[in-house]
Every structure is written in structure tokens, then in C-alpha cells.
Homo-oligomer: A and B are copies of this chain.
Amino acid sequence: MPSGTAYPYDAEGTACIGYLALPDGEGPFPGILVSPAFGGLSDMDRATCDRLAAEGYVALGVDYYSDGRHSTDRAQAAEWMAELQGNRPLLAVRMQAALRTLREVPQTGARIGAMGYCFGGKSVLDLARSGAQFDAGVTLHGVYDAPPEGSQKMTPALLICDGWDDSLCPPEAKVALAAELTAHCDDWQMLAFGHTGHAFTNPKAAVGNGFGYSASADRRSWRALTGFFDEVLRPEG
């Protein structure tokens, strides 16, 4: 079983501490960014990186807050998130730095994906909106509001996975994102799970008010995600 290590990197002069998991072997392997929910990079994200490494991907856990900040205190995490939510270009800069870092890992091959949960889903969208070059992006119970700066042409193929009952992305938000993607992204898909709320991948998320863990949506979204990355990042089969 592969396991990763803390991985410091620079974001335009700001020190970030990611997490790097490598497959066995010399590579090159396709790379995948794993962008965390609003608490910052957690053991759950590290486990996702390990799981992707076991599937043959170089996986870099993203530290978009910098300094390796992580909190299980919702008020603290919300404060950190508000700073980036209020400065979307900075969020894009932090994501671009992670993308560059992943590309420079010696084992990383030409093709790159990115996936993110909740605010990390937004960070993947914002990376695409910034015009950054990568191949495939997945959001899992992401948040969709477009930045005031608008969007560049998006280069990656995108797969959007969410719960139909997610109170952070009601049907109007899904329809609005679809319109944005139709205008800016040549290849996108949306997969919505009925009777499913926000944070459905998180076993600790209590069910109610448009939130909550769903074992079936967690499993099905992982199957969709791995199938999609396999298709786009390993097209030679």
C-alpha cells in the first residue's frame, strides 16, 4: 500500500504544505490534485491521495490556505474560507501553484487531473476558470458561484457530482453552472444523486437540512470519478 509524505511547496512566496502520494514504480504516472473541503487538508484527503496512488496516480493534496492550516472548528475554517472567497484571484494563484508543483514531481507524466470537495470543488472550478492548462477536473459536492472576475476558456474535461438536495447547490445553482460550462467548457458532465445532501463523501457529516453522508453516493461518485480519470488521463488504456 503506497503512503505519502508532507510536501512543502511555494505559492508565489507563500509557504504551503501539501501531501504527496506516489505509486510504486518509476512512472511517469498521470497526476491528480486533491483539493480539500473548507477545513483544509485533512487525514481524509491524505487517505484519498493514498487511494489514488494505489490506482497508479501521483496525487498531491492541496494546501490552499498555506502553512498547512487545517481545523475541525467550523468557525475557524469558515474564517479562513471567507478570506479566499473574498479574493478569488488569490484562490486561483494558490491552485496554480499546486498544479505547477504537481507537474514538477519527477514521476508525474503529461496528463493532469484535479478533484475537490465542497470549497475544494470551487477551487478546481476556479483553477479551470483561470485558464490553467490541465486535462480533467472533478467536483464532489462542490460550490458553484462564479468569481466576479468571470471565466476564461476552460481547458479540462469536467465531471460535476452533487446531491440533488444539497442546500449549497440547489437546482438553480446547478442550472446556472450548466449554463456557465456550456459557454466556457467544451466537455462537461453532471451527475446528481437523489435524496443526497452536501458532504455526502464524509462519514462524519450528519444527515439533515440538505447535508449528510451517503454511503451509496460516496461509492457511486468514486466509481464515476475513477472511470472518468481513467478515460481522460489514461486514454491509451
Q: Indicate if A186 sits at the interface (CB-CB under 8 A).
A: yes
A157 nearest in chain B by CB position: B216
Q: Closest CB of chain B to A181's CB: distance in Å? A: 6
User: How many copies are assembled?
Assistant: 2
Candidates B187, B193, B195, B227; contact of A216 at CB < 8 Å: B187
Interface of A is mostly: mixed
- State whether A187 and B178 are in contact (beta carbons under 8 Å apart), knowing that A223-B227, A224-B224 are contacts in the complex: no
- Residue interface bits A198-237, CB-to-B below 8 A is 1, else 0: 0000000000000000001000100110010001000000
CB distance from A69 to the nearest CB of B (A): 35
- Is A164 part of the binding interface, using a Cβ–Cβ cutoff of 8 Å? yes
Report the minimal beta-carbon distance from A201 to chain B, rounded to whole angstroms: 15
Q: Evaluate contact between B191 and A195: CB separation under 8 angstroms.
A: no
Do B175 and A171 touch across chains, with their CB atoms under 8 A apart?
Answer: yes
Q: Within the assembled complex, what's the spacing in Å between the Cα atoms of A231 and B164?
A: 21
User: CA separation between A228 and B165, bound complex, in Å?
Assistant: 21
The answer to whether residues A189 and B194 also contact, given A164-B178, A175-B171, A178-B164 and a CB cut-off of 8 A, is yes
In the assembled complex, which residues on chain B have CB atoms less than 8 Å from the CB atom of A190? 164, 190-192, 194
- List residues of A whose CB falls within 8 A of some B CB: 164-165, 171, 175, 178, 181-182, 185-195, 216, 220, 223-224, 227, 231
A188 in complex: contacting residue of B182, B188, B194, CB < 8 Å = B194
- Which 8 pairs, one residue from A and one from B, show the smallest C-beta to C-beta distance? A188-B194, A190-B192, A191-B191, A171-B175, A189-B193, A164-B178, A181-B194, A223-B227
Min CB distance A219 to B, Å, is 8
Q: Contacts of A188 on B, CB cut-off 8 Å?
A: 194-195
**Contacts A175-B175, A189-B192, A190-B192 supplied; 9 other A-B pairs, CB < 8 Å:** A164-B178, A164-B190, A171-B175, A178-B192, A178-B194, A182-B194, A185-B194, A189-B191, A189-B220
Considering the complex, give the chain B residue whose CB is closest to the CB of A190: B192
Contact A186 B182 (CB under 8 A): no
Q: Identify A187's interface contact among B165, B181, B194, B231, CB under 8 A.
A: B194
Q: Assess the B189–A195 pair: CB atoms within 8 A.
A: no
